[in-house]
Amino acid sequence: MLKDLILRNRSIRRYHQDEAINLETLKELVDLGRCSASGSNKQTLKYILSCTPEKNALIFSTLSWAGSLPDWPGPSEGERPSAYICILGDTEISKGFGTDHGIAAQSMLLGAVERDLGGCMLASVKRDDLARLLEIPERYQILLIVALGKPKEKVVIEVLEKDGDQRYWRDDDQTHHVPKRRLEDITIG
């Protein structure tokens, strides 16, 4: 059931880096994004795929991880993503991208979970650095990076009380806790 997939699809930030993901798998995931809805069917999104240690390292160097864990600089060597899908907006097709990248990223991550992988959407990216390192032509706007790998952390959802603190946190066992608002608190009419 879709609900199971959605519940399993937690944002993962530590991975078994030695478990490679091949290019074919990345293409299958992009295909899920490709077949998803696109504003006015303009299909403004373009993709850069990465699953080699060298390219992965370049991308990793431009990412910021887990804003709510300021003492944690991000996954250490050995626990980093095995692959990335960079989602770009093609400004020669449109200047605005609406929410197409969110739609596509969600399709791709659900597909990753179905393959016993996990991932995380990252919007905090040093865009100029990434554009330079990957030699991304100026016409493309970097929208979102999807990190992928074999999960090496446990993530649990818990109830966020009304007006409680929504920040995720880690316990002593390194389990990652994600407080989520209740259904009755987000439905306003």
Question: Closest CB to a second copy among 20 and 179?
Answer: 179
Q: Is 133 in the site for a second copy (CB under 8 A)?
A: no
Q: At 186, is the secondary structure helix, strand, or coil?
A: helix
Which of positions 107-126 make contact with a second copy (CB under 8 A)?
A: 107, 109-111, 114, 121, 123
- In sequence order, the β-bridge partners of residue 88 are 46, 142
* Dihedral pair phi/psi, residue 168, rounded to 5°: -75, 160
Q: Residues 19, 39, 79, 154: which binds a second copy (CB under 8 A)? A: 39
Question: Closest CB to a second copy among 18 and 158?
Answer: 158
Stretch that binds a second copy, among 13-21, 74-82, 147-155, 165-173 (CB under 8 A): 165-173
* Dihedral pair phi/psi, residue 138, rounded to 5°: -60, -25
Distance (Å, whole) CA 162 – CA 174: 25
State in angstroms the smallest separation of the CB of 79 from a second copy: 20
State in angstroms the smallest separation of the CB of 152 from a second copy: 19
Displacement of CA 63 from its chain's centroid (Å): 11
Distance (Å, whole) CA 55 – CA 92: 26
Q: Is 11 in the site for a second copy (CB under 8 A)?
A: yes
Distance (Å, whole) CA 84 – CA 120: 10
- The amino acid occupying position 53 is P
Write the interaction track for a second copy spanning residues 84-103; mark x where CB under 8 A is met and - where it is not.
--x-x---------xxxxxx
Question: What Cα–Cα distance (Å) separates residue 17 from each residue in 24, 63, 118, 128, 173?
Answer: 18, 16, 12, 26, 20
Contacts with a second copy, residue ranges (CB under 8 A)? 1-3, 5-7, 9, 11, 27, 30-32, 34-37, 39-43, 45-49, 67-68, 86, 88, 98-103, 105-107, 109-111, 114, 121, 123, 134, 136, 140, 143-144, 157, 160, 166-168, 178-181, 183, 186-189
